[in-house]
Amino acid sequence: MKKVLLLAAVFVVGSIGMARAESQADAEFLGVAKCKMCHMKQFKTWENSKHAKTFEALQGDEVKNPDCLKCHTTGLKADGTFVDKGTSCEACHGAGSLHMKAKKEDKKSLITRKPISCANCHNPHISRKMMAEEMRKK
């Protein structure tokens, strides 16, 4: 009995320690369907934006090319799978699994309000559209 209690105590202390160390960097991508549950207003504006349709810009084998998927999908993994077609919430706000689970008062600290830089994908001096068109001609 004592042993069980001791183990339980170690477990509880261990998980408190882990909870303290949690940061958004440990979070996983959930996909827009989850964000939508609590953020319908933002979902609606996003749904009608070009970012919701970036995957549809790809043709043929481009839908399997990681060099295209990294900006035209969200949550791309090394094995080529991804969470959302298109540039969804977490492409700008970062992975949201811990934010979703967190208590209300901890939510803000587990999501990025000011987005991860637009310049990760956009460069005003590069037309990706022209690059894609030229690549397709070859």
Residues near ligand HEC, by CB under 6 A: 30, 32, 34-35, 37-39, 42-43, 46, 50-51, 53-54, 57-58, 62, 65, 67-68, 70-72, 87-93, 96, 99-100, 104, 107-108, 111, 113-115, 118, 120-122, 126-129, 132, 135
Residue with tokens 């509880």: 12
Q: Name which of 12 and 38 has its Cβ closer to ligand HEC.
A: 38
Residue 76: DSSP 8-state: -
Are 89 and 96 in contact, with CB atoms under 8 Å apart? Answer: yes
Q: Phi and psi of 73, rounded to 5°?
A: -135, 180
Q: Name which of 20 and 104 has its Cβ closer to ligand HEC.
A: 104
Rounded to whole angstroms, the Cα distance separating 57 from 32 reads 19
Compute the least distance from the CB of residue 2 to ligand HEC, in Å.
40
Residue with tokens 């208590």: 103
Q: Name which of 5 and 78 has its Cβ closer to ligand HEC.
A: 78
Compute the least distance from the CB of residue 1 to ligand HEC, in Å.
39
Compute the least distance from the CB of residue 127 to ligand HEC, in Å.
5
How is 24-59 classified by DSSP, letter by letter? Answer: GGG-----HHHHHHH-HHHHHHHHTSGGGGGGGG--
